[in-house]
Amino acid sequence: MATPRVIGSDAVEDARRRGRIVFEVLPGDIVTALARETAERVGIALVDGPLERPKPPRTDGAVSMRRVLYRRSPKWVAPSRSPRKARRLGKLALIGAGGVGGNVAHLAAMADMADEIALIDITPGLAASTALDLNHTSGITGARARCVGGEAMDLVAGADVVVVTAGRARRPGMTRADLIDVNARVIRQSAEAIRSAAPNAIVIVVTNPLDEMTVEMLRATGFPREQVLGMAGTLDSSRFRNALAMAAGVTPADVEAFTLGSHGDEMAPIPSRARIKGRPLDVFLTREQIEACVQDAITGGGQVVALRKSGSATIAPAHASIELIDHIRGARTGPVPVSVMLHGEYGIDGVVLGVPAHLGAGGLVEVEELRLTAEENAALQNAAEAIRLRLGL
């Protein structure tokens, strides 16, 4: 928590001289009796904060440039430029049509992301029935995407993006690392089909343990790191933002926060760069509350598993996968937390880890290196070392 201030009469008098009629009192501030008397005498209201401040107006860079050029020469006319549109995928393939895969397909169809959505699952009839069910909604929603489904892996052929969710889910008491051996076989089978039938696809790995399975996908496909991404940071960051919003009593839209590191016990939420209504966390929350939010983000997936008993989260991971697809097709811009193979960024090499990165039509564009506190950087290094040990690197 920020160091409390002692607000005396001189501070109130200074506010009066500045023409203020409201004095913000932050949590933990100590207001002297004389200050309260002075405030009442000069007509200044002492208001409990933090107060919500209006966001400063922002002018688009292109608009500012046009104004500068016009002032230099009023005859100058801005060239017409059509607004940027998100790319519509030709084909989106989903290996695994269970809870996460089915939800990704539904969200993608509703957002009109692709001409064709292919669902693949080894469970007889599951993918085909889900595809048919989604096609039946088009008479209501007007969705243009046509869905197909089946057990054959060759349905990935020609896909622009392949999302791999297949694999065994956690049960209560299991860690993500407990799934390494069984799910590695699933990843290798998927990789063989992708390598031969969709060699230009961007692969998004959702199967747990996510960072380790992303390494396995890279090995098995032989693809460059740009083409193989792990979905974790988007989901973990959403859980962190939700925890902070609940603790501060605000909406998640008021919170900016993200997590790095592994998708597991070595997850590294980054409180130093988190903001609530544009202000540091300690304006709203105590150190203990912030630590509780960090732990809530780390254990969020396990909380769902404990309640569900026979499965793991499906809805939030699907939304997180859609966020990555949106970045790939240009519907969203800016850095997004994603698991990628690091080549020296953050002083880490040869390990897949969640970091902020820019994505585009070819997958990874570049990793964005942020300034972290010593404690946060140590957590990132610890996560990398833990993954190395689990993979025997």
8 Å CB contact between 109 and 132 = no
The rounded distance, in Å, linking the Cα atoms of 171 and 305 is 6
Helices (H), the chain: 9-17, 33-42, 61-72, 99-110, 126-141, 180-197, 210-221, 233-248, 287-308, 315-328, 374-391
User: What's phi and psi for 15, nearest 5 deg?
Assistant: -65, -40
DSSP string over 158-195: T-SEEEE--SPPP-TT--GGGGHHHHHHHHHHHHHHHH
Q: Is-catalytic flag, 263?
A: yes
8 Å CB contact between 120 and 150 = yes
8 Å CB contact between 327 and 336 = yes
Token pair recorded at residue 179: 């799934």
Amino acid at 369: E
**Residue whose C-alpha is closest to residue 380's, from 266, 299, 278, 251:** 266
Considering the candidates 106, 136, 263, 319, report the single residue annotated as catalytic: 263
**Residue whose C-alpha is closest to residue 100's, from 206, 232, 252:** 206
User: Other C-beta atoms within 10 Å of 239: how many?
Assistant: 25
**Residue whose C-alpha is closest to residue 233's, from 327, 140, 375, 357:** 357
Token pair recorded at residue 108: 């993608």
Give me the active site residues, please: 263
